[in-house]
Chain A
């Protein structure tokens, strides 16, 4: 199964936005997440009228579309002498997302990501999010790096 990869995700509890990975290959990943009714951001966004913030939509797309695929690719690179899991941190380096539909508390979303390239430690993907009616919620280009942390160049 693909979900063993979830053990490598550094996110915990309120900031983990992946429930299941239904498809995973070197070029593509598909995963699902159901928004929790009691997530911390609904209380204030917006008071009495909860809507999933765009940054959270973006984060869900990044965690499934970029981080899951990125960790999968790095684990595949056998010669890469990565040591401890906890020294691997994903860093988002750019996003360009367009939003089409609102996502409400309790809704289930599906993220589909297609690799554009993975070179010099950078993964770039085209990522789409669909709702349970298979309608487009958001789409965009995501880039990030995952490696043993090295932030000297910012």
Chain B
């Protein structure tokens, strides 16, 4: 999966947890999940769990810790996807 493909899917994963749909449409690597998308910090856990289901991957505590912006989310998802192959 390319980063762009992951990004497109990630938007769908994030959608239920942000009310800022306009910002969501235009997210890039630097978009901060809490500060920009105003996701409740505890709901980041739901984003991570939904991402696991979506990509059929397992995200450990250390990886989850890195997932603060869209770029690092894609990094982690991409890394876990590669480990599967």
Q: Report the count of interface residues on B (CB-CB < 8 A).
A: 11
Within the complex, the shortest CB–CB distance from A73 to chain B, in Å, comes to 14
Bits for A111-154, please: 1 = Cβ < 8 Å to B, else 0: 00000010111101000000000000000000111000000011
Q: Are B48 and A93 in contact (CB under 8 A)?
A: no
Check A120–B41 contact: CB distance below 8 A: no
Main secondary structure of the interface of B (DSSP, over half): helix
Query: Counting CB contacts under 8 A, is B23 at the interface?
Result: no
Residues of B within 8 A of A39 (CB): none
B-contact 0/1 string along A83-101, CB 8 Å cutoff:
0000000000110000000
The residues of B that contact A154 with a CB separation of less than 8 Å are 41
Cross-chain contact A93 with B49 (CB below 8 angstroms):
no
- Interface size counted on chain A using CB atoms at 8 A: 13
Let me know if A94 and B40 touch, CB within 8 A.
yes
Please determine whether A117 and B34 come into contact, CB atoms closer than 8 angstroms.
no
- B49 and A117 within 8 A (CB): yes
From B48, which residue of chain A is reached at the shortest CB distance? A120
Residue of A nearest to B52 (CB): A119
Which residues from A are CB-within-8-Å of B42?
A: 93-94, 122, 143-145
Chain A contacts for B41, CB-based, 8 A: 93, 153-154
Could you tell me the distance between the alpha carbons of A83 and B42 in the complex, rounded to whole angstroms? 23
Decide if B45 is an interface residue (CB 8 Å cutoff): yes
Q: How far is the CA of A144 from the CA of B45 in the complex (A)?
A: 11
**A124 to B44 Cα, complex, angstroms:** 13
- 14 A–B contact pairs at CB < 8 A? A93-B41, A93-B42, A94-B43, A117-B49, A119-B45, A119-B48, A119-B49, A120-B45, A120-B61, A120-B64, A121-B45, A124-B46, A144-B42, A145-B42
Given A120-B64, A121-B45, A145-B42, 7 more pairs with CB closer than 8 A: A93-B40, A93-B42, A117-B49, A120-B45, A122-B45, A143-B42, A153-B34
